[in-house]
Chain A
């Protein structure tokens, strides 16, 4: 059974940094691209980042480009999202999701990030 379990949720001040993790199981993690998707309160879904299976390519939404960094450790079956210069508009539920070529076949349960002073 595929499982994606995010961690790292919390409340941070504007301008600060935070790192999310997503531990994968039930599939060969090193064979698949992985993504982060977020959903602001009462809003729709927004794809924010993709990393290829071998970390050779990364893509970002304009809203996070230059502030967020996606990475992975295939030896630990873990996906990361490093978030810097956080803004109030980054407040959202953050999901990790499997899939590069045909995306998001499995999703985690999500973690809440709140940016507020």
Chain B
């Protein structure tokens, strides 16, 4: 199975700050990588698909990049609604696997 290692697991940050979350795969996943946001009420939303394509309606402050085994999600200027859990997902190979998650919290 492909393991996804997300870092950091917790990310304290301030409003307006730029942050980056990393997701490293145990083998190449050929850009088959999505990013999801989960709010405290459990609601899950896809932000980015295929490494770097922004989901319709998602603010442009979110961006994704990467290749091979290394991927990242960046938020250019944090707003209050961005404080949530973030997960990466690889769908290159079954079983599809998620990273362990990053909790973005207010510093």
Query: Which A residues lie at the B interface, using CB under 8 A?
Result: 39, 44-47, 50, 59-62, 93, 95, 97, 102-107, 109-110
Q: Which of A62, A103, A107 contacts B91 (CB 8 A)?
A: A103
21 examples of A-B residue contacts, CB within 8 angstroms: A45-B38, A45-B44, A45-B87, A45-B101, A47-B95, A59-B95, A61-B95, A62-B95, A102-B34, A103-B34, A103-B91, A104-B34, A104-B36, A105-B46, A105-B49, A105-B55, A107-B43, A107-B44, A107-B45, A109-B42, A109-B43
Query: How many residues of B are in contact with the other chain, CB < 8 A?
Result: 23
| Most B C-beta atoms less than 10 A away, residue of A44, A50, A61, A95 | A44
Provide the residues of chain B in CB contact with A104, threshold 8 Å: 34, 36, 44, 46, 89
